[in-house]
Amino acid sequence: MAASKGAGNVDGEATVTQDGLVLRHCQSVDDMRACVALQKEVWNFSDAELVPMRLFVVAQKVGGQVMGAFAGSDMIGFALSVPGMRSGHSYLHSHMLAVRAEYRNSGLGRRLKMLQRDDALARGIELIEWTFDPLEIKNAYLNIEKLGAIVRRYNVNQYGITSSPLQGGLPTDRLIAEWWLKSNRVETLLKTGKHPAVNGEVAIKVPAQIYEWKAGAETRQLALQVQERNRDQFLKSFDDGLAVLAYERNAEGDGKFVLGKWDEEWSYASIG
């Protein structure tokens, strides 16, 4: 847990964690350059696909968020959000969350998301959205189980085929996480560490071997088959009015989305 020291301060005051890391708003051009460098390190995009430094600068200037995590003077993580508007209501779209390899699985990603939440609420913003790969098991667990996001939408091949080896040459299908910051679901999770009970109606499974299958040219077709099967299940379930409300992992590392009816009436009409 963070030892709070100005968490979420919109003027950039730092949050210092018990392990000595510093989380704060990025302000300087050097901070923005460090974000671009870490982006390249994490995703290994071609230069043409990198989010440029100018966009980080613009996001910070126009009401978005550029949050950095630092070990000493070294940036080890960042979160980038841009302001959005839908149905006449404002929200934040969290476009990127990056953590250096040796700091993953330490809770740093969640700490950056919580800093985003604190900052959003301080500015009267009650919704943060982001997209994530339905085949990424650890990321899905963070989003659904640790943060309390729900999912009701699916975008097919959102960015086209990218140069990042993390995608394995597959279509860039994405789920859209909705993080309703003041919902009972999120506030209960943050207070108790537990979700309200979920009555699951549909389960959509992701095998633990998906990373290995994506990485190898000879097994990539297996990963594509999982993606296409799950895509059809998600699209049908969302058309039926279901939402992703839970995510389970078993001892073998397999993941499972659990979908059901969401009994809270949070929607774009409920904010603002």
Task: Give me the phi and psi of 177, to 5 degrees please.
Answer: -80, 130
Residue 182 covered by a domain? yes
The helix/strand/coil state of 64 is: coil
Bridge partners, residue 118, by sequence: none
Nearest to 50 by CA among 165, 164, 169, 214: 164
Of 238, 78, 246, which Cα lies nearest the Cα of 148? 246
- Token representation of residue 185: 């679901």
Whether 53 has a pLDDT exceeding 70, the answer reads: yes
pLDDT average, residue stretch 200-210 = 97
Map residue 141 onto helix, strand or coil: helix
**Domain annotation covers residue 60:** no
* 250 within domain boundaries: yes
Q: How many domains does the chain have?
A: 1
Range of the domain at 264: 126-270
pLDDT attached to residue 197: 83
Report yes or no on 249 lying in a domain: yes
Model confidence, pTM: 0.89
On whether residue 133 sits in a domain, the answer given is yes
By percentage, how much of the chain surpasses pLDDT 70? 91
Phi-psi region of 44 (alpha: psi -120 to 50; beta: other; left: phi over 0): left
Q: Look at residue 90 and tell me whether its pLDDT is greater than 90.
A: yes
Q: Confirm if 204 and 257 have CB atoms less than 8 A apart.
A: yes
Helix (H) or strand (E) holding 128: strand 127-132
Q: Does residue 21 lie in a domain region?
A: no
For residue 169, name the pLDDT band (cuts at 50, 70, 90).
confident
Strands lying side by side in the sheet with 22-25: 2-3, 15-17, 22-25, 65-71, 74-86, 89-99, 127-132, 174-180, 150-155, 243-249, 255-260, 202-206
pLDDT at 8: 38
Residue 222 reports pLDDT greater than 90: yes
> Residue 10: which pLDDT band, with cuts at 50, 70 and 90?
very low
39 domain-assigned? no
Confidence of residue 131 (pLDDT cuts 50, 70, 90): very high
Over residues 149-176, the mean pLDDT reads: 89
So what's the pLDDT on residue 205? 98
Query: What pLDDT sits at residue 73?
Result: 94
Asked if the model's pLDDT at residue 5 lies above 80, the reply is no
Q: Does residue 58 belong to any structural domain of this protein?
A: no
